[in-house]
Amino acid sequence: MLQNPLLDVWKREAVAYTGWLSIPSAWSAEVMAHAGYDALVIDLQHGLIDAAGMLGMLQAIATTPVPSLVRVPWNEPSALMRPLDAGAYGVLCPMISTRAECEAFVAACRYPPRGIRSFGPTRSLVSIGSDYVARAESFALTFAQIETVEGLANVEAIASVPGLTGLYVGPWDLSLGMGLPILGNLLDEDLLRACDTILETAFRHNLVAGIYTKSAEDGVRMASRGFRLVNIAIDSALLQQGAAAEILKARQFKER
Amino acid sequence: MLQNPLLDVWKREAVAYTGWLSIPSAWSAEVMAHAGYDALVIDLQHGLIDAAGMLGMLQAIATTPVPSLVRVPWNEPSALMRPLDAGAYGVLCPMISTRAECEAFVAACRYPPRGIRSFGPTRSLVSIGSDYVARAESFALTFAQIETVEGLANVEAIASVPGLTGLYVGPWDLSLGMGLPILGNLLDEDLLRACDTILETAFRHNLVAGIYTKSAEDGVRMASRGFRLVNIAIDSALLQQGAAAEILKARQFKER
Amino acid sequence: MLQNPLLDVWKREAVAYTGWLSIPSAWSAEVMAHAGYDALVIDLQHGLIDAAGMLGMLQAIATTPVPSLVRVPWNEPSALMRPLDAGAYGVLCPMISTRAECEAFVAACRYPPRGIRSFGPTRSLVSIGSDYVARAESFALTFAQIETVEGLANVEAIASVPGLTGLYVGPWDLSLGMGLPILGNLLDEDLLRACDTILETAFRHNLVAGIYTKSAEDGVRMASRGFRLVNIAIDSALLQQGAAAEILKARQFKER
Amino acid sequence: MLQNPLLDVWKREAVAYTGWLSIPSAWSAEVMAHAGYDALVIDLQHGLIDAAGMLGMLQAIATTPVPSLVRVPWNEPSALMRPLDAGAYGVLCPMISTRAECEAFVAACRYPPRGIRSFGPTRSLVSIGSDYVARAESFALTFAQIETVEGLANVEAIASVPGLTGLYVGPWDLSLGMGLPILGNLLDEDLLRACDTILETAFRHNLVAGIYTKSAEDGVRMASRGFRLVNIAIDSALLQQGAAAEILKARQFKER
Amino acid sequence: MLQNPLLDVWKREAVAYTGWLSIPSAWSAEVMAHAGYDALVIDLQHGLIDAAGMLGMLQAIATTPVPSLVRVPWNEPSALMRPLDAGAYGVLCPMISTRAECEAFVAACRYPPRGIRSFGPTRSLVSIGSDYVARAESFALTFAQIETVEGLANVEAIASVPGLTGLYVGPWDLSLGMGLPILGNLLDEDLLRACDTILETAFRHNLVAGIYTKSAEDGVRMASRGFRLVNIAIDSALLQQGAAAEILKARQFKER
Amino acid sequence: MLQNPLLDVWKREAVAYTGWLSIPSAWSAEVMAHAGYDALVIDLQHGLIDAAGMLGMLQAIATTPVPSLVRVPWNEPSALMRPLDAGAYGVLCPMISTRAECEAFVAACRYPPRGIRSFGPTRSLVSIGSDYVARAESFALTFAQIETVEGLANVEAIASVPGLTGLYVGPWDLSLGMGLPILGNLLDEDLLRACDTILETAFRHNLVAGIYTKSAEDGVRMASRGFRLVNIAIDSALLQQGAAAEILKARQFKER
């Protein structure tokens, strides 16, 4: 059976840098899988990707050793079970604000008696291995996204839910919730304080702390604070910025 | 009826810079359409895009004023007529090596008595305008790709085919055909000489000269030589390079 | 940034007539977008369209200035947020029966502190504008469908939820719920009385009143009662009726 | 209007044997529809099929007289209503553990005043018949899956919900929940006792008892116990086993 | 095995009226299949439909007894064989201008020794019957479209190709080729004379004569001239016209 | 760079057994890729798979070390180049009847100066390796299908085309062409004689001989004759036979 390489990364106390996928294309996913990231996150919430698109992307990424995580659209059992059945190495669940929400989230990802995950890992039995069920608990990662003011207030209770892999900061939602301007560069003092609270709570509970950023620069800063699952790039944005930079170069020349 | 803005660009003796689309996704196409290019080329030959994908991408790009060209997979009537019926502003036809091939190409793009294009511009009548048929001849651009040694030898005869909009250099195929190494930066003397031959032939025949390059730097150099339809970026490559650059930045930090 | 043209229609105290989309095709959506309606409604509840289909249809309609509304399948956060992230000009939420349901609906469509909408308007930032977030509250319309007996009883409480754009009558469901026969022509006295109750409640709360009908004739009658978002045609039905009419004409001739 | 042939099977006190569909392909579904089963089950929970895939598969199966059931991903109104609107002959709802859950499930499948199903059987009106709504209650089957320990404990209360068609045993989930090893051959005594409890409860309430098995051998054993909707094959597994058997035969020869 | 019902229609000397499909949707195809036409034509040339779309539409139509014909994009072996393998009841081949072209067309549709059709009727063996190959020659209809001036000149030679089912007039292309204005109502004297030439040639060779029109009115006129496969409606146009008519009715009221 | 493992198989003088894919699904392809075959053949000619489907299947198979071959729909440059650009390990070209046809086939698969393959191995550069172009000639296999009487007569000339990897017998088409009944078990004397002629010609030219069969039994017989690329199973047929066997078992029991 396949191992989840992220567990090794964290055993080595290293940082797993991820790329974020919002383009619904198995080809762009395969390109990203060859770029050198420690894992990719398929975003079913704000990415323009649905369940069928996810399946093709999970397959495309699985042509490489890079593990795929899936950010589900909402804390709903079927939304959580589907990617795990389809071969995802773990899930990120948005908008976890209370301990009860986190318990429901984790329960949906764990087989009885630990949880209520329904049996039927159709692709995982093939792509991960025939002993998947016995090892699903350690294999399938569960990250609760802390990205509301209520979630921040309840972070201690959330972190204490058994079976949780980690806490994952959603800084844009958190900014909005805290009444801060939407900040691209993660420099706001209040926001950083909130990040550190989440980080420290994760440490105290032996959880992995993760965070979404949009650049290597921000990502490295967050990694140095202690985050161990750090997003540093988004496919749509890479395309957007790369395309704009190239045409700008050409235009500037024209104008000289 | 919509006008073809590329005609205006060339009337102003300006250069039209294009982006190249090989990701089969209407979303990535829409992102590219907002990046500032003068036109986009949907590549049905080497891009991983089929006819259904093309339709969605033509629609996505048409949410902006940016015109869409389609590079067809081969010089075949149905391959040429399909994008023109679907609202493309023009087509690039690969591997034109003889005058007869060029005549067949242009004929497939022109209604009788000029050619053999079959009537049925299903989407063009809606997306471009109800008077499309009357104006299709000037609207729908036809670029013959010169990218074989034979095509280079026959460039004069090819350029003299009535109804042709332009000659388009495919430097990678041409390099291969000339026995040159595949060059990323278009600096080979022999290749440049071939490019100039094509360029000059185009000028003499009042045709637009176009060329495929992979960067603004190369594109600007080619524009300064006289090319007027110049590709400077490819979606897959922008993604690939952007993604690699970001993870490299993060890794380098780690290693310090 | 794009404006929501429906707001202008209503400022002029005019009626916005809509077409309803249940065929999962970006091409039929584009055809409908050229037909002259004030807006189109993509029906993810009873139409045979899923999230991926919606995306292509939103793009196809956006090749014209016609705004797209999305009727979501159910009052669920992810179902509501997804179309708003994908560039919809507003959502219709079915089966709102209580004030609590309406509050949950509106909250899912509004960013904090007004609501709980999660940040990530991936396509809206591109298709509507980079200042989308700041203006999302006024841009993104929220219509609560009143179509149950319970909803009718609670209409006053529902209408008083802050942030709601309008009340939208679902006359077929309401008929069923009231124990009436399914009426195609909206002539039942009891049903009309219920419609008027909803209409008057909307007026009292400065909300837009909308209603689903299947024909211009019914739509105009409802517009004259005061409804301002009035559906008058459904794509599948137009096809069905048009096709049947044509073959009937041919058959009748044959039989003479 | 089409009749639901499963009702006839059960009137004859016969067993309906089903095939299970988890491959998202209308072509493989059509092949299965010609194989001789009494019905097919499209699995939207653990199968790799989404709503768009389901639609194509419902159409493909409807090229034959074989009825299609849909196993929905979760007990949610929109998940239940969608297949019924799209022409399914019934639904299986996973993980029903309490009477309240069963009531919610059945209500979502029944029009008022019996339930809360929203009006809009877009495809059913075409594929099943224009009098669909009047006959939907008897036509559209509702099977509650008993597959948790809690569901087993509450089976009496679940079975007494009016409007329910049958109880359907999910033996793999039930095994997991009961702390049994995952058994492929349904021979565990405790599990069989649980199956019989469900079966007898169904009988007492005039409900159809159904069960999922993976082979004709197991299916026939379960049919002989009294189950009347019995799955005996899964498309992915048939492919897997058939493919493995053929290459094994070839390899064995090679090694001789 | 299924019979081809069009053969019966013509045995009765009746007219087969068809609807034309250019919307790439299996749902709209199914709606059209219930509208009462004698056959439907899936247009892979000017319709916005590709091979994958065709498969879903063939399946959707096969939920009814209505036969499906496919208009292929061009006279190419693979384009002709693909729909016949996928269960089409016949093909229309565009732009047949010479006897040699017609021979190539018919050969591609007939198994050796009559032709060169390659063996592999994957879906036809399932959807039409296991004895498909033995009966394919009479089952699979072959219509040569006469729609060029050259084709008109060669109609006698084209009609004499053994194995051809019929001649099919493409009046729009023919108009263009004859230098006539594009006529929507088929009233031009010269065009009608050309139509009659084709019709009479078909009669003399015991072939079925067919023609494309856009309305029952035109279709009936053409049927009365002797055409026996007569198109009278197009899905996109029905939608377009129906939608425009409804909004016009509503707007007119508003303006009163 | 990836190696083509089929070359190793043949170096060891072993037989490569293949499975045939005609179901357009990346999931069924992935299942087949885990079944133990030496290679899989994606059939774009008679399988119900188009170019977009092929891409997803190539990706799904590439999650395992199993190489993918593609049988193209016809001997056309774009049909041949597309799979090679998309990461296929080789192509089978149907209906090669003359030396000229074979030369055209091989030329389309080889870069200049050996052939006319156009440069643009978009996915192959990523999935196979960045040095793909330099090694494409040995990597990308080319099999000419001998399946017409004419091809059989010209087999010597066909086999002598430089750059060809092998000859591949299509016994069903060959049977049809030879006027034999369609035989499922490859026992006809005349057919076997033809197979042996092709086999011996292949040997004399140092080519790999391949053949399509439908079962391990037939495949092993053919392997023992000397064929080295031997198909023994088809996905649709495995499903069909497996499904029929299971329901037959259940029915037989019922009837006892």
Question: Looking at this predicted complex, what is its ipTM?
Answer: 0.96
Q: Which of B78, B81, B110, B130 should be substituted to probe chain E, the one whose Cβ sees the most E Cβ atoms within 10 Å? A: B78
Q: Which of F9, F12, F18, F28 should be substituted to probe chain D, the one whose Cβ sees the most D Cβ atoms within 10 Å? A: F28
Q: Which of B172, B173, B183 should be substituted to probe chain F, the one whose Cβ sees the most F Cβ atoms within 10 Å? A: B173
Mean pLDDT of the D17-25 span = 98
Mean pLDDT of the C11-25 span = 97
Torsion of CA F136, B248, A84, A30, to 10 degrees: -20
Which residues of chain E lie closer than 8 angstroms to F82, CB-CB?
A: none
Q: Do F86 and B148 touch (CB under 8 A)?
A: no
Which residue from D minimizes the CA distance to A118? D173
Record the tokens describing residue D60, joined without a space. Answer: 């493909």
Mean pLDDT of the D41-60 span = 97
| Residue D13 bridge partners (DSSP) | none
Return residues 32-71 of F near B (CB < 8 Å).
50-52, 55
Write down the mean pLDDT value for chain F: 96
Q: Do C232 and E220 touch (CB under 8 A)?
A: no
Does the CB of E121 have a partner CB in chain B at under 8 Å?
no
Closest to F239 (Cα-Cα) out of F59, F17, F27: F27
Candidates C55, C76, C120; nearest CB to A46: C120
Neighbours of chain A (3+ CB pairs under 8 A): B, C, D, F
Q: Do D51 and C50 touch (CB under 8 A)?
A: yes
Query: Does residue F254 carry a pLDDT above 70?
Result: no
pLDDT of res. D44: 98
Which H or E element spans position F31?
A: helix F26-33
Which residues of chain E lie closer than 8 angstroms to C242, CB-CB?
A: 233, 238-239, 241-242
Does the CB of F250 have a partner CB in chain E at under 8 Å?
no
Candidates C32, C37, C48; nearest CB to E27: C48
Which H or E element spans position C236?
A: helix C235-255
Query: Does residue A7 carry a pLDDT above 70?
Result: yes
Distance in Å, alpha carbon of D14 to nearest chain F alpha carbon: 9
Query: Does residue B79 carry a pLDDT above 70?
Result: yes
Candidates F22, F173, F182; nearest CB to E118: F173
Q: String of b and e for F80-100 (b: at least 16 CB within 10 Å)? A: bbbbbbbbbbbbbbbbbbebe
E235 CB-near residues (< 8 Å, 6+ apart): C239, C243, E19, E20, E21, E22, E23, E28, E32
Candidates F34, F59, F123; nearest CB to A59: F59
Closest to B97 (Cα-Cα) out of B142, B169, B150, B170: B150
Record the tokens describing residue E120, joined without a space. Answer: 């592999």
| Residue F231 bridge partners (DSSP) | F18, F212
Q: Which residue among the candidates E1, E8, E46, E187 is catalytic per the annotation? A: E46
pLDDT of res. F88: 98
Q: Is C34 a catalytic residue?
A: no
Candidates E26, E34, E126; nearest CB to D30: E126
Q: Which residues of chain E have pLDDT under 50?
A: none
Give the CA distances from residue C157 to residues B105, C101, C202, in Å, rounded to whole numbers and listed in that order.
67, 11, 11
pLDDT of res. E256: 52
pLDDT of res. C109: 98
Which residues of chain A lie closer than 8 angstroms to D148, CB-CB?
A: 112, 116
Query: Does residue B184 carry a pLDDT above 80?
Result: no
Neighbours of chain B (3+ CB pairs under 8 A): A, C, E, F
Distance in Å, alpha carbon of D56 to nearest chain E alpha carbon: 7
State which amino acid sits at residue E107.
A
Q: pLDDT band for position C3 (50/70/90)? A: confident
**Alpha-carbon span F4 to F14, nearest angstrom:** 15
Which residue from F minimizes the CA distance to D20? F243
pLDDT digits (tens, 9 = 90+) for F14-63: 999 999 999 999 999 999 999 999 999 999 999 999 999 999 999 999 99
Residue E130: exposure state from Cβ atoms within 10 A (0-12, 13-18, ≥19) = exposed
- Strands (DSSP E) contained in F147-213 are 166-169, 208-212
Torsion of CA A50, A56, A57, A60, to 10 degrees: 180
pLDDT digits (tens, 9 = 90+) for C56-97: 999 999 999 999 999 999 999 999 999 999 999 999 999 999
Which residues of chain E lie closer than 8 angstroms to C215, CB-CB?
A: 246
pLDDT of res. C185: 80
Candidates E48, E233, E247; nearest CB to C243: E233
Q: Do C240 and E35 touch (CB under 8 A)?
A: yes
Candidates D34, D60, D123; nearest CB to E59: D60
| CA dihedral (B154, B160, B164, B169) positive or negative | positive
Which residues of chain C lie closer than 8 angstroms to E249, CB-CB?
A: 216-217, 220, 232
**Alpha-carbon span B201 to B221, nearest angstrom:** 19
Mean pLDDT of the C138-149 span = 97
Query: Does residue B144 carry a pLDDT above 70?
Result: yes
Contact E22, E50 (CB under 8 A): no
Q: Which residue among the candidates D46, D193, D204, D249 is catalytic per the annotation? A: D46
pLDDT of res. C83: 98
Q: Which of C22, C25, C42, C50 should be substituted to probe chain D, the one whose Cβ sees the most D Cβ atoms within 10 Å? A: C50
Which H or E element spans position B26?
A: helix B26-33
Torsion of CA E24, E30, E36, E39, to 10 degrees: 60
Which residues of chain E lie closer than 8 angstroms to D34, CB-CB?
A: 126
Closest to C236 (Cα-Cα) out of E67, E32, E233, E60: E32
Domain ranges, ordered by start, for chain E:
5-255
Closest to B79 (Cα-Cα) out of C250, A14, E45, F179: E45
Mean pLDDT of the C14-22 span = 98
Q: What is the CATH code for E5-255?
A: 3.20.20.60
Query: Does residue F206 carry a pLDDT above 60?
Result: yes
pLDDT of res. D254: 59
Distance in Å, alpha carbon of A26 to nearest chain D alpha carbon: 16
Record the tokens describing residue B65, joined without a space. Answer: 């004023």
pLDDT of res. A17: 98
Q: Do E52 and F47 touch (CB under 8 A)?
A: no
Does the CB of D199 have a partner CB in chain E at under 8 Å?
no
Q: Do E244 and C215 touch (CB under 8 A)?
A: no
Q: pLDDT band for position C254 (50/70/90)? A: low
pLDDT of res. B253: 80
pLDDT of res. D3: 87
Mean pLDDT of the F183-194 span = 89
Distance in Å, alpha carbon of F215 to nearest chain D alpha carbon: 7
pLDDT of res. C209: 98
pLDDT digits (tens, 9 = 90+) for E228-253: 999 999 999 999 999 999 999 999 97
